[in-house]
Structure 1
Amino acid sequence: MRNTLSQASSPYLLQHQDNPVHWQQWTDEVIAIAKEQDKPILLSIGYSSCHWCHVMAHESFEDDSVAAVMNEHFINIKVDREERPDIDKTFQLAHQLLNRQAGGWPLTAVLDPQTLIPFFSGTYFPKEAKFGLPAFTDLLNRIKQVFDDKRDDIVEQNDRLNEAIKTIAKGASHSDDEISSQATNFLSATADRADKKFGGMEGAPKFPQAAIWEAMLKLIPSNSFSSEQSDEAAEILRETLTGFTRYGLFDHLGGGFFRYCVDERWEIPHFEKMLYDNGQLLSLISQAGHYFADGDLMQSVELTLLWLKEQMLSPEGGYYSALDADSEDQQGRSREGAYYCWSDGDFDVLGNEEQDFAKAYYGLDKPANFEGDWHLQTKNHWRQVAEDRGFHEKQAPILMESARQQLKMIRDKRPLPFRDDKILTSWNALVMQGLLQAKRAGVRTDIDESIQSIKGFFRNCVWRGNELFACYKNGAAYQEGFLDDYAYLAKALVLSLSDNFIQADWVWLKQLCDELWQQFADQNQGGFYFTSDNHETVIARHKTWSDDAMPNSACQALEAVWVVAEMTGDTKRLEFVEKSLKQAATEAKQSPLQHSSVIHLIEQWQQGLEMWVLRGESAEMVSWQRYLKTGLNPYRYVFAIEAGVNDKLLEVKFPAADVMVGYCCREHQCFPAVRDFESLKALSSGDED
């Protein structure tokens, strides 16, 4: 065999095309060779901006002596977890079962070639023994010996592991229990874990966990909490959002959020920027900035939009996947954070007043905080800096912006970290959701152009007939879409139609929901499988309600199917929604923090969708629509449909009239149509009498 990764599309796999390891892609042909030769498969899963993936590659996969052992004893397969999240989910679960602890990347698993069940799993291993870990070659030789000498034991263990994986992958069984609110339990669990001093969850490292905080934000105005509980939730949330936007998780010069921070104070990040984080945080912080009327939060939204446009936007209108943590420093060495960090003399380009302001604002008058350099964070609020340094309050923002722009101009000349330029449908759909929430929050950028651009990418590049593809690179779409892809895009289209109802987008949303229903839904038990009926099944089809680094896609799929079913009067799918939520509630009760998306969807079911459909001429509808969308009403959907839109199902339930008319359905009932603005205001405030 030879290394065949030069044929790959993934930038991560291409990074390994010159390794002496005979890497293969995951294909039926390669699996068949492993079975025929009865040779164990060494599976390595990672992604392009993974720091420890790079470390293991440099130490081991680029080393001839290590490669010789791998090539002699194993069929070696490389997988980009961002291209094949289905494979990653399966083997991360297997790792957890084998080791009684969570996995991560790089994931290193050794599979029985006959069953593809792993009999060994770990993460990073060094070339030489250190960190309490064995040398990689010693480990590989022992694994091969066990495979040869104890095959019966491996088969017995694999039988048990196979059964466990399939049982867990099914998720909770259908429950006939009533769906009840879990908001109070969720708040209690969050408050117990929340870091009251620095925001987020206690301990380090600190990840944003956007799904938890978006659920909290939606529960606050939805009457899910008592007044006292709402105050507590708002305080925890605002402290967390301050942690996200004021310190080291956020790039204060160019915008965008890093993946996580290594300390409890949110000061020093792991410097890679992932698109999926930024899509979620764009959505969360836009909604929170609007709800709390917080200009500082909205400033971070504006800068993140700038970063997306400047460094991540592709010519096709979609956004690239990630920026690496490492880049070249001034000495030409690859170093983590080199692009973002500053040394003492770097600030001499600023004028005296700007430098004085910047040092106090960014904490440069304090000791360097990262390997002898400064990673910028706002140690003091700009109003406090103005007061302490004697600047007029109107002068301070001007100095702040001038310093930011000058420092950014210098930084823009540095070598950009490696950019993973594949475009992932699911991650881009999260960005589209964020763009639409930013527009609703009133950002002042050219947001409509960005929304149309990314929507054009989806239509023109990854949507073929009724099929959605998960990846796009070098002008070609590939890899059949997963639940993430269909669900996040469907949710994005619901938000888009609420912003601007276009008939072609409505038809598209119905097509996506039909595919979710036909290819992913477990129509008997409820819920959605991560893979479609047409996908390859690697050990098991997964069905879960928990959030991970991204929001639970089954919840977003269910929400989109629910909205369309309400709009079209599809009772069969509404029954499926209820069945699914009963199943999801069973899991959420056991671990509320891992099921925050479920919990706010359950609350939405308890209170009922508030569905508004406006019919009439666009000029008159604007004021009605704007009024209904004022504030944060998390369970309210407003669709302003011009009289010329032709859809038989909509016309039955929400017929157009000669005058403006508004239809409202909420709390599982529909009200008589309203034909004047005052009646609409009364009905929307709950005063329908």
Structure 2
Amino acid sequence: MIENGMHNKLAQASSPYLLQHKDNPVHWQEWSDEILALAKELDKPILLSVGYSSCHWCHVMAHESFEDDDVAKVMNEHFINIKLDREERPDLDKTYQLAHQLLNRQAGGWPLTTILDPKTLVPFFSGTYFPKKPKFGLPAFTELLQNISRIFQQKREEITEQNDRLSHALQTVATGTRSSQGESTESLAPEFVNSVLQHHDKRYGGMEGAPKFPQPAIWGASLSLLGSQALTDKQAEELKLAVLNTAKGFCHFGLFDHLAGGFFRYCVDERWDIPHFEKMLYDNGQLLSLVAATGHYFAEGQLMQAVDLTINWLKEQMLAPEGGFYSALDADSENESGKSVEGAYYSWQPKQFKFLAEPERVIATHYYGLKKKANFEGQWHLVAREDWREVAKKLKVHEKQAPILLESARQQLKLVRDKRPLPFRDDKLLTSWNALTLQGLLEAKRAGSKAVSDELINGCKSFMRHQVWKNKQLYACYKDGKAYQEAFLDDYGYLAKGLLLALSDRFTQVDWSWLKQICDTLWQEFADQEEGGFYFTANHHQKVITRHKSWSDDVMPSSSIQALEALWVVAELTGNMEWLEFVEKSLIKARAEAVNAPVQYASAVRLLEVWQQGIELWVIRGEGYELPQWQEYLTTGLNPNRWVFAIEHGANDAEIETKFPAKPGEEQTLRAYCCRQRQCFPAISDLANLKRFLQEK
């Protein structure tokens, strides 16, 4: 390839995000060894633009700059321009987001606009959104690029020195080598809970401030810690109220789509009133798990209704023919004038309610607050303004009639909205996000959701087994019948946790064998066997500047923690002492990293607490019809350190290879075997003894 022959190459891409830019006058390239070598040969800086298909500000920058001939001319003259879908290459996104944070001393985001030295791929400038003309206190994009090009030509020595420092800092921060070297696995629950309670928004739920993200890892950990012996009674009681208040905030206000179900990415205000309207699969998978578990624990029917609606939304708008789920719905869609604007699909005017019959119209108008001031650009984004019982009392509607009228109004409004142009759907399927959704579906089933089905669960599992698992190699992405991009830690870690939950729901030799293969790969390709923890990339992956190793949560839970939990449970089932020693070593490292900011390490705090309490492992063996009663008894309630696996008689012990084979003389009788805190107990043969055993522990 020669410089003058360059043109926009994105028409060849798989990513829907990259395809959105295939007609830009910018000579966009995909990230590849070939294009990196060309940039190095030409000694031309790389403009790396990172985003994703449902990102609102990515669209804004595209329309203002990347579709503009004058801007494109400057970009093409001075840079090798690479477009990157952060959902396809989370490894690169992690590296360059961290570099942005170190260069600017503030968090990044999308679009990410970063300029790389072609020889080292280390960025010497990084920003996010830039406008074509100066506004919001930001410079014009073309002037900025011309200045950067001039600096690159005139100040190479300074850039090299800065890049050396940044490269060292990236390697230090990305691998956690700054952490204090403590040797403790002591619980961090009290410190974590104190911080959560200090920053909890007691009025609206979630954490204080705006914009407001749901942060399911924090609240999932909070829920699991409610029974922690490390907490005072006062802490436990306040935390219980905070968890319930937060789950209600997620489901009652604007974060939730009240007509079709599903959660938006975040809200721009502290009241959970107005969301940023994209719907991401990873959010919905996590929030299914959290809201279902919370609804089940507190016996809150309205939370379970939100779970059921969200599952229905997944089936209606996100389910692919292969059984997995698509990635996202955009925030923008066409309004009545045919213009693409944010939130158009979800917004209403009171006159649009007139088709409803009077009882439904009146109760819906009060419930959604349409008598009050419009809350979104002259229109209404539907929010539950009042508790339905208060509305019923105010309108003198019988309590049994009110939910029926509201449900009738919801269904009719949804039918009208379904006729609107659907926001753009990113139709690639991501393994990690589908694995989180599998976890959510299984948690919803355990909580008693009416909408979830074994068919839906098995379809999601089947997609991952048959479409992205090839010759014992997992792939991260799937689109148009093709799996591509070798998987990362989040793909393996989330899938391993999902398979554990699936085995706890129904134990099959196929899933057990698959889980062991996944864990073997985690051990061989991702684990830092000497120091503990996992790298985000496999041993054989391309290394760009550094390999990341971290225990913190971000918009998704720590894949290191989910991978570690899977290895731990499999090690307990099989008696793998090497893995058990690795788990302890890793938790020491995780705690050392988490101790100064436990809320950022919620998943690690949760698993440290399980380590302190001791994992409780149950294997029930019996006939298929005998198992559910015992299994349900053991899995009811909040037991974050308990894993239950029910294995039918006739399973091949040689293939299962656990340390719980049916003993001679017990092959045809119902038995429960329990190990906890490195101690195994005699088999239990009747339910009364099982209940007595649990009461005595």
TM over 0.5: yes
Please state if 1:381 is matched with 2:387: yes
Shift of 1:395: 0.5
The answer as to whether partners of 1:613 and 1:654 remain within 8 angstroms in 2 is no
Amino acid at match of 2:370: L
In the alignment, which of 315, 325, 328 is matched to residue 309 of structure 1? 315
Please state if 1:670 is matched with 2:676: no
Shift of 1:223: 3.4
- Counterpart in the other structure of 2:617: 611
1:6-31 CA distances to partner (integer Å, 9 max, x unpaired)?
00000000000000000000000000
- Counterpart in the other structure of 1:146: 151
Shift of 1:683: 1.6
- Counterpart in the other structure of 1:405: 411
Shift of 1:319: 0.5
Paired residues for 1:276-291 under 5 Å: 276-291=282-297
Amino acid at match of 1:350: L
- Counterpart in the other structure of 1:194: 200
Q: State the SS of the aligned residue for 2:621.
A: strand
Q: Distance in 2 between matches of 1:507 and 1:176?
A: 36
Please state if 1:5 is matched with 2:10: yes
Return the TM-score normalized by structure 2.
0.97
Q: Distance in 2 between matches of 1:244 and 1:474?
A: 34
- Counterpart in the other structure of 1:432: 438
The answer as to whether partners of 1:484 and 1:553 remain within 8 angstroms in 2 is yes
1:29-67 CA distances to partner (integer Å, 9 max, x unpaired)?
000000000000000000001111000000000000000
- Counterpart in the other structure of 2:3: none
Q: Which deviates more, 510-519 or 648-657? A: 648-657
Please state if 1:517 is matched with 2:523: yes
Q: State the SS of the aligned residue for 1:109.
A: strand
1:221-240 CA distances to partner (integer Å, 9 max, x unpaired)?
34342222111001111111
Please state if 1:39 is matched with 2:44: yes
The answer as to whether partners of 1:174 and 1:525 remain within 8 angstroms in 2 is no
The answer as to whether partners of 2:66 and 2:72 remain within 8 angstroms in 1 is yes
Please state if 1:655 is matched with 2:662: yes
Q: Distance in 1 between matches of 2:89 and 2:696?
A: 47
Q: Which deviates more, 271-280 or 663-672? A: 663-672
Amino acid at match of 2:36: I
Paired residues for 1:221-240 under 5 Å: 221-240=227-246
Q: State the 4+ residue runs in structure 1 displaced beyond 4 angstroms.
A: none
Please state if 1:319 is matched with 2:329: no
Q: Distance in 1 between matches of 2:549 and 2:82?
A: 25
Please state if 1:24 is matched with 2:29: yes
In the alignment, which of 502, 527, 534 is matched to residue 496 of structure 1? 502
The answer as to whether partners of 1:174 and 1:526 remain within 8 angstroms in 2 is no
Please state if 1:561 is matched with 2:567: yes
- Counterpart in the other structure of 2:174: 169
Paired residues for 1:571-586 under 5 Å: 571-586=577-592
The answer as to whether partners of 2:50 and 2:111 remain within 8 angstroms in 1 is yes
Q: Distance in 1 between matches of 2:22 and 2:264?
A: 28
Q: Which deviates more, 323-332 or 166-175? A: 166-175
Shift of 1:684: 2.3
Query: Alpha carbon RMSD of aligned pairs, Å?
Result: 1.1
Q: Which deviates more, 548-557 or 379-388? A: 379-388
In the alignment, which of 110, 116, 120 is matched to residue 115 of structure 1? 120
- Counterpart in the other structure of 1:627: 633
Shift of 1:198: 1.2
Paired residues for 1:132-143 under 5 Å: 132-143=137-148
Please state if 1:341 is matched with 2:351: no
Q: Distance in 2 between matches of 1:246 and 1:148?
A: 55
Q: State the SS of the aligned residue for 1:469.
A: strand
Q: Distance in 2 between matches of 1:166 and 1:361?
A: 53
- Counterpart in the other structure of 1:92: 97
Please state if 1:467 is matched with 2:439: no
Shift of 1:655: 2.5
| Pair 1:267–1:98, CA change in 2 (3 A) | same
Provide the identity percentage.
Answer: 64
Gap regions ≥5 residues in structure 1: none
In the alignment, which of 527, 535, 547 is matched to residue 553 of structure 2? 547
Q: Distance in 1 between matches of 2:675 and 2:631?
A: 15
Shift of 1:669: 1.6
Paired residues for 1:671-686 under 5 Å: 671-686=681-696
Q: State the SS of the aligned residue for 2:554.
A: coil
Q: State the SS of the aligned residue for 1:55.
A: helix
The answer as to whether partners of 1:174 and 1:579 remain within 8 angstroms in 2 is no
1:134-160 CA distances to partner (integer Å, 9 max, x unpaired)?
100000000000000000000011000
- Counterpart in the other structure of 1:50: 55
The answer as to whether partners of 1:174 and 1:582 remain within 8 angstroms in 2 is no
| Pair 1:387–1:70, CA change in 2 (3 A) | same
The answer as to whether partners of 2:660 and 2:673 remain within 8 angstroms in 1 is no
1:276-330 CA distances to partner (integer Å, 9 max, x unpaired)?
0000000000000000000010010000001000000000011000000000001
In the alignment, which of 127, 131, 150 is matched to residue 126 of structure 1? 131
Shift of 1:176: 5.2
Q: Distance in 1 between matches of 2:308 and 2:627?
A: 28
